[in-house]
Amino acid sequence: MSDRIFGVFGILLAIGFAMSALTIEESFLSDAVGPKAFPLIIAAILGISSAVIAIKPDPEPHWPNFARLAEIAAAVVVMVLYAQFLPVAGFVFATAAAATYLSWRLGSTIIGSVLTGVGTSVGIYVIFHLVLGLSLARGPLGF
């Protein structure tokens, strides 16, 4: 029964995500696909996979214990904080902090997590901003 509840919740989430994506305003400079395509694809994948879970549930689902659910909730909080602090702290700092925490929770050492977070942040910044010329959120230091 819990799989069916989870599947129905996913379907409702996909519908809400698709409705939100349809409100995105298109610029006259947008490409042929437009800014709505990627969110709608994600909503479709979420909806289809959730429908499969709801229609064909696992006979004996195994749910994580409370400690694991708390770690998942903490990761969700970090991602929400990342979205909130991205315009304030800038892409490099916010991404480094989020990637450091997430890699630490995935089992890396503290030093390895910091190196992974900084490397991921700087690497993405170099590729997307310096090489491809895309604009990323600027922080207090201008990058």
Is-contact 39 21, C-beta < 8 A?
Answer: yes
Is-contact 143 125, C-beta < 8 A?
Answer: yes
pTM greater than 0.95: no
pLDDT for residue 132 is more than 90: no
More confident residue, 118 or 139: 118
Give the position of tokens 């305003």.
25
Query: Any alpha helices (H) in 1-143, and if so which ranges?
Result: 2-22, 37-55, 66-89, 91-105, 110-125
Q: Residue 112: which residues within 8 A CB-CB, separation 6 or more? A: 103
Residue 31: pLDDT band by 50, 70, 90 thresholds? low
Distance between CA atoms of residues 83 and 125, nearest Å: 16
Residue 60: pLDDT band by 50, 70, 90 thresholds? confident
User: SS3 of 25, please?
Assistant: coil
pLDDT of residue 62: 84
